[in-house]
């Protein structure tokens, strides 16, 4: 007795000839599997969607259809499904795309290479990201100011996600006291410039990413040049002077700014997106910088080591959402986290009409004037 495969299968070379003669090849692999390569002019329909979508490509039940998958197993089941639905001229390509390649038959390479398909496979499975979203991430540039407590987790996960170019700006060096929270760095790299240390760790994680490492302090004279060409800016700074300059530059350049801050056991995150008329800016939250006594830094007040990790990861998540235009970014909202209570609280943060940064009477003169506001910081 002949098996089902004997009745339903065709060799790859015979399938190619049939395609030249007008047969329709239907690739029933998942979208992420087809991202690396596929048969030219084949129609891609995941097997789970085949029954509901095939009519869009084969209106006639006598249309010759050749199903294809990775190794020939799913395509055989797909061929059975089509026959059960009334299609009378259906065959499965034996051995799938694996045998097709082995026989040296032509394929067209996908938008992502094999390494990217493997590396980002879990992204590719998400309909909100998929191949198009991953390509968008690969074409994006994120500027991260600070390679410390907030910058470390943000940089690690942005690099892992496949951001095309990650610019990191920091003029500090690794100190042993950093290691309790700044997980980009190691004991062996104490004394090394933070951007150099960050580059070592991040390149080891994902060598596909382009790292633009700037061992310099952001100031009035270079802020626009450093942010130019960015798609998203992440604030991982630890002082008000830098934050005020970042805010002013993002307003001038119309760039979304992902804000994060930590203090002892609490942290907060928000997004200031000057591309939208109703978005607040950083100075809607802090119109004037608080005194050093009212806002001591980590070296003075201390900080729970894991706290910057939580806040930095939220910043990375917001950045990815902005790059992909998915979800609801934290625009007009301040997300506050209390580590001791293990609780999140969300506060409304509307645009302030009297804000000195973005209000109706706000006037930008120069970055030098912005820096003077924070000279006491």
- How buried is 124 (Cβ within 10 angstroms: 0-12 exposed, 13-18 middle, 19+ buried)? buried
Give the Cα separation of 346 and 349 in Å (integer).
9
Q: Up-side HSE of residue 289: CA atoms within 13 Å toward CB?
A: 21
Note whether 332 and 269 are within 8 A (CB). Answer: no
**φ, ψ for residue 282 (rounded to 5)?**
-60, -35
Q: Sort 325 into a burial class: Cβ within 10 Å, 0-12 / 13-18 / 19+.
A: exposed
- d(Cα 78, Cα 34) in Å, to the nearest integer? 16
CA distance linking residue 260 with residue 308, whole number of Å: 9
Active site residues: 298
Tell me the HSE value of 367 on the side-chain side, using a 13 A CA sphere: 20
CA dist., res. 154 & res. 279, Å (int) = 23
Distance of CA 212 to the CA centre of its chain: 17
Pair of tokens at residue 79? 């061929």
């Amino acid at each position: 007795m002949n098996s089902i495969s004997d009745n339903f299968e065709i060799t790859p070379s015979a399938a190619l000839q049939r395609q030249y003669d007008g047969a329709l090849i239907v690739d029933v692999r998942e979208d992420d599997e087809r991202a690396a390569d596929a048969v030219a002019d084949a129609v891609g329909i995941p097997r789970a969607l085949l029954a509901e979508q095939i009519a869009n490509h084969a209106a006639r039940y006598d249309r010759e259809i050749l199903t294809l998958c990775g190794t020939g197993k799913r395509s055989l089941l797909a061929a059975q499904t089509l026959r059960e639905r009334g299609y009378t001229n259906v065959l499965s390509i034996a051995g799938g795309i694996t045998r097709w390649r082995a026989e040296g038959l032509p394929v067209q390479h996908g938008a992502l290479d094999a390494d990217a398909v493997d590396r980002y496979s879990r992204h590719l499975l998400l309909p909100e990201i998929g191949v198009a979203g991953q390509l968008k991430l690969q074409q994006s540039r994120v500027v991260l100011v600070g390679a410390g407590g907030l910058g470390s987790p943000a940089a690690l996960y942005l690099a892992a996600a496949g951001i095309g170019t990650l610019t990191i700006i920091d003029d500090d060096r690794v100190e042993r006291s950093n290691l309790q929270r700044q997980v980009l760095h190691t004991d062996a790299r104490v004394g090394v410039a933070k951007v150099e240390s960050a580059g070592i760790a991040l390149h080891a994680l994902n060598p596909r990413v382009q790292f633009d490492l700037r061992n310099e302090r952001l100031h009035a004279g270079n802020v626009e040049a450093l942010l130019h060409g960015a798609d998203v800016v992440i604030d991982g700074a630890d002082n008000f002077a830098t934050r005020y300059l970042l805010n002013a530059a993002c307003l001038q350049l119309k760039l979304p700014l992902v804000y994060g801050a930590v203090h002892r056991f609490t942290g907060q995150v928000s997004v200031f997106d000057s591309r939208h008329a109703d978005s607040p800016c950083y100075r809607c939250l802090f119109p004037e910088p608080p005194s050093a006594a009212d806002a001591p830094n980590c070296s003075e007040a201390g900080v729970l080591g894991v706290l910057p990790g939580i806040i930095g990861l939220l910043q990375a998540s917001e950045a990815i959402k902005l790059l992909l235009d998915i979800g609801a970014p934290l625009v007009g909202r301040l997300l506050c986290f209390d580590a001791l209570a293990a609780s999140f609280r969300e506060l409304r943060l509307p645009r302030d009409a009297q804000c000195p940064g973005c209000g109706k009477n706000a006037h930008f003169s120069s970055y030098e004037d912005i820096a003077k506001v924070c000279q006491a910081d």
